[in-house]
Amino acid sequence: MAKAVAQNELLELAIAAQGGRDHYRGVNEIVIRAYGGGLAQRKHYGRIIGNFETRISTRSQRAEFMNYPRSGQRGVFEGSSVRIESMDDGSLLAERQNPRAKFPGGRRWLWWDHLDFLYFAGYAMWGYACAPFLFEWPDVEVREIEPWEEEDQTWRRLEVTYPETLHVHCRRQVYYFDPEGLLRRNDYTAEINGNFAKSAHYAAEHREFGWPGLSHSSAGLWPKDKQPATSPPGPGSDRHRRDAGRVRGRAGGEDIRGDRDERGRARPGPDPIPAVGGGYFLPPILRPFQLSGWVPGMVWLVANSLRPRFAQRLPCTFGWLSKRPIEKRVMRAFLAPALGDRRIRRDLARTLRGIRKRYTLEAAEHFGDFHKPVLLAWASEDRIFKLSYAEKLAGAFPDARLERIDDSRTFVPIDQPERTASLIGEFARPKGASVQAGSR
């Protein structure tokens, strides 16, 4: 009986810290406006890129993603079904029933389509926005377990078991609350990625947005065996500014908005994308591989999946990177380091996690400041990095020379090694120097 009182006490503390039960019941919808460079992009290879708006129901398990996957369309998540419809007339464009049954397995180990991503983002965003109030939904079981010591604080913990009727990361999750009752961490397994995808989802810097019933926090996602020594960075850090979103709630006819940064300043609109390059890195067909950097064990799994010859010729692997099959000895040299050395897998995962569109765009702004000669040796048949990208790059550098390599795709050193070596040798050779007979 004493344990039940402790459980009720912690749950009541958490609900009060979020504005209280009465305030929450007065809200029918939570609208989150964010930039897709944070958690969504990292976990889902960038299906939502740039500014997006999600409308989350507090009455049922439902979330709407406006202008997804394209402008004028709307993605709707309703638990056991997802669909994409026109925002103009509501006409159905695509639909999938029981999407959970498709995970994990098949192509979803490598890439997701729009409906796959919609399902994951829908249930994840709904759960993040509605906790801890959803702990009181029918058939949700809650109990307090032993406390946890972190950051010189004692965090009390709730173990929550969800029923089969709710779509969540996994049935059993653990939520950590600080002495004020604010959520600081959520442990779960993202089962649609695989049973190995165990994560510790940290939250920090909670803030109110114009109404005591809503707060928002920056968050960081970590593999459970690589938890940070401290919580995610606070106000003023680059990641905090990048991941903090916009939240507003609706209570009756009232529109409660939060459109400010950590210093109370109005947030600017999206940054303009320079004309140079493709705008994003990685290219769309290769973005699913970035997911492997965030899921423990996935780098090894992906490297193993590329060992069969047929897998190497798929468009999403090496099929569009080289015009002809890569020699077995070369492919073994590609894969052997990742298969045989966990340190290399660790560094590769770290590299994949570090890929950001903003780095590419920041570099592009300074191309005009580089006044030394530039050689662009580009495959004329490249299907991933289009020749038009090379033409834009050549125009961005003051002293650039574009050389087209015919009968080749992206991997020009493999498709046309002699032509590639000749161009590089000629470019690197000092002016006026000649090649001696027999020299290398």
Q: Per-residue pLDDT tens for 238-257?
A: 333 333 333 333 333 333 33
pLDDT for the residue 432: 62
pLDDT at 40 (0 to 100): 40
pLDDT surpassing 80 at residue 325? yes
Closest CA to 80 of 99, 93, 95: 99
Residue 347 has pLDDT above 90, yes or no: no
The number of beta carbons lying within 10 Å of the beta carbon of residue 407 is 13
What would the mean pLDDT of 413-421 be, rounded to a whole number? 89
In this structure, are residues 50 and 35 in contact, taking their beta carbons and an 8 Å threshold? yes
Mean pLDDT of 159-172: 96
Rounded Cα–Cα distance for residues 24 and 214 (Å): 8
For residues 210 and 81, which has the higher predicted lDDT (pLDDT)? 81
292 neighbors 349 (Cβ within 8 angstroms) = yes
Three-state SS at 284: helix
Q: Going from the N-terminus, what domains does the chain have, and what CATH number goes with each?
A: 2-256 (2.50.20), 273-356 (no CATH), 366-440 (3.40.50.1820)
Helix (H, G, I), strand (E, B) or coil at 301: helix
Q: Is the dihedral of CA 357, 359, 365, 371 positive or negative?
A: negative
Confidence of residue 35 (pLDDT cuts 50, 70, 90): low
Residue 78 has pLDDT above 60, yes or no: yes
Instruction: Report how far residue 206's alpha carbon sits from residue 188's, in angstroms, rounded to the nearest whole number.
Output: 21
DSSP, collapsed to helix, strand or coil, labels residue 171 as: coil
Q: Lowest-confidence range among 29-33, 47-51, 270-274, 379-383? A: 270-274
pLDDT digit string, tens, across residues 105-155: 777 776 788 899 899 999 999 999 999 999 999 999 999 999 999 878 899
Compute the C-alpha angle 83/87/88, nearest 5°: 135
Residue 71 pLDDT more than 60? yes
- From residue 201, alpha-carbon distances to 105, 149, 173, 379, 420 in Å are 24, 16, 11, 43, 46
pLDDT at position 160 is: 97
178 band by pLDDT with thresholds 50, 70 and 90 = very high
Cβ-in-10-Å burial (0-12, 13-18, 19+) of 12 comes to middle
- Give residue 231's pLDDT: 43
Interval 183-196 mean pLDDT: 89
pLDDT value of residue 127: 95
